[in-house]
Amino acid sequence: MKKILATLLIMLPVMAMSQPKGEVINIIGLCVGQFQFAEIMSSYGEVPFVTMLSMRPKDQTMENYDEYSTVLFVNPDTRTWTFAEKRGEDKFCVVGVGENAAPYVDDTANKRYGT
C-alpha cells in the first residue's frame, strides 16, 4: 500500500513540493487519468474486485444526487485496497485506501437457523 501511495504522490510533484517538508500528504480526493490509474493499480497487484454505483447529495435538501461508478481494487495477496470513484469519462479519484481486506462473515443467519 505504501508503494501505491508513493506512486500516486510522485505523479503530482507540484502538490508534493508545495507541502512543508516532512508533512504527510492526504491523497484522498486525488484524481488521475483512467489509463494511468489502471496501470498503477495493476503494477501493485490491485485488481477491480467490486463495482457499484455511489450517490452523493448535490445539496442539503438530500433530494438531488450525483452518481458515480465506484470501484474497489484489492490485492488478493497483500490484502491492500483502494476505493475509487470514476468521474467523467477518463479519470478516477481516490476515495479511500487501506489494508487487511477480508470477506465479511456474519454468522447471524447461522445462529438464527441453527446451522
Q: What 3-state DSSP class applies to 62?
A: coil
Place of cell 484489492: 74
Region for residue 40 given its phi and psi (left: phi exceeds 0; alpha: psi -120 to 50; beta: otherwise): alpha
Average pLDDT over residues 75-103: 90
The least confident of 20-34, 52-66, 75-89, 100-114 is 20-34
CB 83 within 8 A of CB 94: yes
pLDDT band at 1 (very low <50, low <70, confident <90, very high): low
Neighbours of 68 (CB within 10 A): 19
